[in-house]
Structure 1
Amino acid sequence: MADYAGDLDPKAAWKMLESEPAAVLIDVRTLAEWQYVGVPDLSPLDRKAEFVEWQRFPDGSPNAEFVEQVTRIVPDPEVPVLFLCRSGVRSMHAAIALTEAGYAHCYNVAEGFEGDKDMAQHRGTVGGWKVAGLPWQQG
């Protein structure tokens, strides 16, 4: 298993997107998550997030075309690529997959979009993109 470039908390990911004009944020959650939970909003940076499912909705099967789809979006393997999911697990696997495909700067946005579960087993209150106060919109 290849080592990816590392984990970034959501605010560090935002700072990288601010400072690295070529960097790309790819949200690897499912279509349902994008539509019902929301998506990162990069419009304050005059940019857009990209969306490629790591697992297919609704059955959760692996997206066998994931690497191919990402390489069409980001053809240059030297461009920093930041991966985001719900909590940082799928995005870590995505960062590993792209690193294994020859990409040099793949990052996992640790905590993800919704963060970890709180004491009541709910997401969206402990860590994550939304809790960090970063821009997002309903999908």
Structure 2
Amino acid sequence: MAVDDITPRATWDALRADPDAALIDVRTNAEWNFVGFPDLSEAGKEPLMISWQVFPSMQVNAAFVDHLRKAGLTPLNKLYFLCRSGARSLAAAQAAQAAGFAHSFNISDGFEGPPDAEGHRGQVAGWKAEGLAWRQR
């Protein structure tokens, strides 16, 4: 079974409509602190911060699926995975799906999306570029 990509806007709509939907931000602590993260307060939610790779080694977090379960998520939840540009989140969604979380989705273009012509992220595609709410710590 393949993991479906979903746009940031469609993710936002799903999070607002489904009380059991959750956004899992799989980036690192440094990214959450310095780049920002989705603000889901209007949907009455907080993103779950569970790194897919551990900084600074960037080795895959062997306890990732355990962290999903410890956060109270079940195979009935719809899970939306987010990273910088959509690559780590796809791997995380695939791991979740393989562990029995059938409703796992990859947020296409992630939080910042690809770089623009000048090498800056957050302008072309992704959560920030779509004008969705976000904040910094």
Q: If the TM-score is normalised by the length of the shorter chain, which range does it land in? A: over 0.9
CA distance in 2, matches of 1:75, 1:13: 17
Corresponding residue of 1:79: 77
Corresponding residue of 1:29: 27
Instruction: Note the C-alpha offset of 1:96.
Output: 0.4
Q: Residue 10 in 1 paired to residue 8 in 2?
A: yes
Question: Partner of 2:90: helix, strand, or coil?
Answer: helix
Report the structure, 1 or 2, having the larger strand content: 2
Structure 2, unaligned stretches of length 5 or more? none
CA distance in 1, matches of 2:88, 2:102: 19
Moved more, 66-75 or 92-101: 66-75
**1:83-109: CA deviation from partner (whole Å, max 9, x where unpaired):** 000000000111100000011100000
Question: Partner of 1:71: helix, strand, or coil?
Answer: helix
Corresponding residue of 1:102: 100
Structure 1, unaligned stretches of length 5 or more? none
Q: CA RMSD, aligned part only?
A: 1.0
Instruction: Note the C-alpha offset of 1:62.
Output: 1.2
CA distance in 2, matches of 1:106, 1:49: 15
Question: TM-score normalised to the size of structure 2?
Answer: 0.96
Q: Residue 60 in 1 paired to residue 58 in 2?
A: yes
CA distance in 2, matches of 1:80, 1:74: 12
Instruction: Note the C-alpha offset of 1:68.
Output: 0.8
Question: Partner of 1:122: helix, strand, or coil?
Answer: coil
**1:63-94: CA deviation from partner (whole Å, max 9, x where unpaired):** 11111111211432111000000000000111
CA distance in 2, matches of 1:114, 1:76: 28
Question: TM-score normalised to the size of structure 1?
Answer: 0.95
Task: Give identity over the alignment, percent.
Answer: 46
Corresponding residue of 1:123: 121
Instruction: Note the C-alpha offset of 1:125.
Output: 1.1
